[in-house]
Amino acid sequence: MKLILLGPPGAGKGTQAEKLTKYLTGLHVSTGDIFRYNIKNNTELGKKAKSYMDSGKLVPDELTIDLVWDKLDSIDKDKSIILDGFPRNLSQAKALDEGLKQRNDKIDKVINIAVDDEVIIKRIAGRRVCPNCGMSFHVDNNPPKVDGICDNCKHELIQRDDDKEQTVHKRIDVYNEQTAVLIDFYKQKGILTTIDGKKSPDEVFEDITKSL
Q: Is 160 a catalytic residue?
A: yes
Residue in 109, 160, 164, 198 annotated catalytic: 160
Q: Is 123 a catalytic residue?
A: no
* 53 touching ligand AP5, by CB under 6 A: yes
Contact 112, 192 (CB under 8 A): yes
* 52 touching ligand AP5, by CB under 6 A: yes
3-state secondary structure of 98: helix
Q: Is 13 a catalytic residue?
A: yes
* 88 touching ligand AP5, by CB under 6 A: yes
33: how many CB neighbours lie within 10 A of its CB? 17
Per DSSP, 199 falls in state S
Binding residue count for ligand AP5, defined by CB under 6 A: 37
* 205 touching ligand AP5, by CB under 6 A: no
Residue in 2, 50, 88, 123 annotated catalytic: 88
For residue 178, give every residue at least 6 positions away whose Cβ sits within 8 Å of its Cβ, in sequence order, or none.
58, 88, 89, 90
Interface mask toward ligand AP5 for 19-48; x: CB under 6 A: ------------xx--x-------------
Q: Rule CB under 6 A: which of 62-81 touch ligand AP5?
A: 64
* One residue of 80, 141, 152, 194 binding ligand AP5 per CB under 6 A: 141
* One residue of 171, 186, 192, 208 binding ligand AP5 per CB under 6 A: 171
* 138 touching ligand AP5, by CB under 6 A: yes
3-state secondary structure of 190: coil
Q: What region does 44 belong to: left with phi over 0, alpha with psi -120 to 50, or beta?
A: alpha
Q: How far is Cα 21 from Cα 32, in angstroms, rounded to an integer?
A: 17
Q: How far apart are the two ends of the chain, measured CA to CA in Å?
A: 10
28: how many CB neighbours lie within 10 A of its CB? 21
190 or 210: CB nearest ligand AP5: 210
Per DSSP, 170 falls in state H
The amino acid sitting at 172 is I
* 134 touching ligand AP5, by CB under 6 A: no
Q: Interface with ligand AP5 by CB under 6 A: which residues?
A: 7, 9-15, 31-32, 35, 52-53, 56-59, 64, 85-86, 88, 92, 123, 126-127, 136-138, 141-142, 162, 171, 197, 199-201, 204
